[in-house]
Amino acid sequence: MSDSTLRPDPFYDRRVEMAALDRAWMRHGHGGQMLLLYGRRRLGKTFLLQRYFTAGATGNEASKPHCYFLAEQSTAATQRLTLARQLIAALPSEDVTPEEIAVSWNALLRYAGQRAQAREKGSGRFALILDEFPYLVAQTPELPSMLQAWWDREGVHVPLFVVLCGSQLSAMAALGEESAPLFGRFNAGIFHLDPLRYEDVACFYANSPHYGVVEKLQMYGVFGGTPRYHALVDASRPPAEEIVTLLMQPRAILESEVRFLLGSEQIRDPAPYNAILAAIAGGETRFNRIQQLIGVERGALSKSLRSLLDLGWIRREFPFGERSERRALYRVADPFLTFWYRFVAPLSSELQFSDATAVYGSRVAPYLADYMGWSVFEEICGQWLQRHATDRLGLVVRQMARYWSRDGRTEIDLMAELEDGRFLFGECKWRTESVLRLGDLSALQAKVANLPESSWRERPSYVLFSPGGFAPELVQMAADPEERVWLVGGADLLGG
């Protein structure tokens, strides 16, 4: 086992990914398994691999035999020699030196396969983890073809578990495409690691007196689903202090994070991307309005939007029941990026000459509620339904989206088709100091009554979300099953 592979702690969620890794590792037979794992930076890909290979899917298992190699932006010869040393340390042999097997990638791969095959019978698979794989390909462009030839000839027949991991999304995704040499070789699967959900983010703030339900949700709204950012937060301090410390004060830890993320994707000219993200985060979600605001030609904007979609930085939304391109809206996919472009970037000059705490108090804090209501809370409610509709409401959701009419007069926060063909409608109100009342339900019911499809209006169900809770008369109504009304608020949002 490589000395650089440590057991990460704390470690939250990733149950689906851990279970999939375990299925591939435990798969019957003695042949090789190859896995492609990718996702944007800071999401915990390395932590996931470290956790699985040092503690197993349950977190309490023995370490699995492996060699973890984190590639660097170095020369091909240096990369091979570093890996050779780690391979020999993990799979010892007295008959060879690192310099001898570092002469080529074929020699390295052959050594890994032969030594894995020579291990004691019944000892199971050995894992070879190549992290930041695109750095290796940058120095050796033919490496995927060499890996494919070796895999077909030897690797698939020996007890190896090969993991290719990386953060350059386009480069990693291309490895699994039909035209790529390694197409069809990832028999352990292709995993795209997504950000954590808000409920998992809340675990970072458990047992802190400064973080109740509202504060935990707000921290998701500020730092998104990236575990690295939440791990930086000192939960013994109030949220406002940590937001200022990490994002807004001079030389803050995350001061240059967005520039780093853009640079890591090898974007040569970040200007149009910054402009697009700022426009969308500021509320301009339609193509024509974005184009008018940033002043670029239609073709250039389309190209930049496609790049941001491929990177997973933005997403495209359609109203429920439609897929027309003309009806599409664009949203920033990550709350951290939304918060950055909504608040931090516009204040960057002011923050250089002013007290960051005072700027936060006057230019950010008064607008946090509007920000949460417009940009974040609907996403939180959608995540809640995806995870809890069946176990908490007894409903099976087939599909779900927001709805907005063509004339712009009717907007519904959440609309879902249920297994029985009927429909569920949701209202998401970010109210922290007041409760929802019957009038809020009546307003939602009036919107539903005006929907164009008669099937949508037939025996609809309703779910209301609010961290501030609900008036007694609304609670009484929801207690009657015939009303088909559910209320989700406060601790319910965090599984309580």
Q: Beta strands of 250-296 (E only): which ranges? A: none
- Contact, 87 vs 108, CB < 8 A? yes
Name the nearest CA neighbour of 79 among 128, 160, 147, 138.
Answer: 138
Helix (H, G, I), strand (E, B) or coil at 487: strand
Decide which of 348 and 16 is more confident.
Answer: 348
The three-state DSSP-derived secondary structure of the chain is CCCCCCCCCCCCCCHHHHHHHHHHHHCCCCCCEEEEEECCCCCCHHHHHHHHHHHCCCCCCCCCCEEEEECCCCCHHHHHHHHHHHHHHHCCCCCCCHHHHCCCHHHHHHHHHHHHHHCCCCCCCEEEEEECHHHHHHHCCCHHHHHHHHHHHCHHHCCEEEEEEECCHHHHHHHCCCCCCCCCCCCCEEEECCCCCHHHHHHHHCCCCCCCHHHHHHHHHHHCCCHHHHHHCCCCCCHHHHHHHHHHCCCCCCCCHHHHHHHHCCCCCCHHHHHHHHHHHCCCCCHHHHHHHHCCCHHHHHHHHHHHHHHCCEEEECCCCCCCHHHCEEEECCHHHHHHHHHHHHHHHHHHHCCHHHHHHHHHHHHHHHHHHHHHHHHHHHHHHHHHHHHHHCCCEEEEEEEECCCCCCEEEEEEEECCCCEEEEEECCCCCCCECHHHHHHHHHHHHCCCCHHHHCCCEEEEEECCCECHHHHHHHCCHHHCEEEEEHHHHHCC
- Amino acid letter, 96: V
Tokens 């939250």 belong to 12
* pLDDT score recorded for residue 59: 65
Helix (H, G, I), strand (E, B) or coil at 400: strand
State the pLDDT confidence band at 164, using cuts at 50, 70 and 90: very high
Residue 458, pLDDT above cutoff 80:
yes
* pLDDT score recorded for residue 57: 61
How many whole angstroms separate alpha carbon 278 and alpha carbon 260? 17
DSSP state letters, 402-470: EEE-TTS--EEEEEEEETTS-EEEEEE---SSS-B-HHHHHHHHHHHHT-S-GGGGSS-EEEEEETT-B
- Amino acid letter, 209: P
Question: Both tokens of residue 14?
Answer: 């990733």
Model pLDDT for residues 219-271, shown as the tens digit of each residue = 999 999 999 999 999 999 999 999 999 999 989 999 989 888 887 776 778 89
Question: Both tokens of residue 447?
Answer: 């919107």
Question: Both tokens of residue 2?
Answer: 């490589």
How many whole angstroms separate alpha carbon 75 and alpha carbon 82? 11
Structural domains in the chain plus CATH codes: 15-192 (3.40.50.300), 199-369 (1.10.10.10), 374-494 (3.40.1350.10)
Question: Both tokens of residue 152?
Answer: 């077909």
How many whole angstroms separate alpha carbon 441 and alpha carbon 439? 5
Model pLDDT for residues 360-385, shown as the tens digit of each residue = 999 999 999 999 999 899 999 999 99
State the pLDDT confidence band at 27, using cuts at 50, 70 and 90: confident
State the pLDDT confidence band at 62, using cuts at 50, 70 and 90: confident
Model pLDDT for residues 84-137, shown as the tens digit of each residue = 999 999 999 888 999 999 999 999 999 999 999 988 776 789 999 999 999 999
Tokens 């091909």 belong to 76
Is the pTM higher than 0.85? Answer: yes
Please give the distance of CA 46 from its chain centroid, rounded to a whole number.
Answer: 14
Tell me the mean pLDDT in the region 432-445: 96
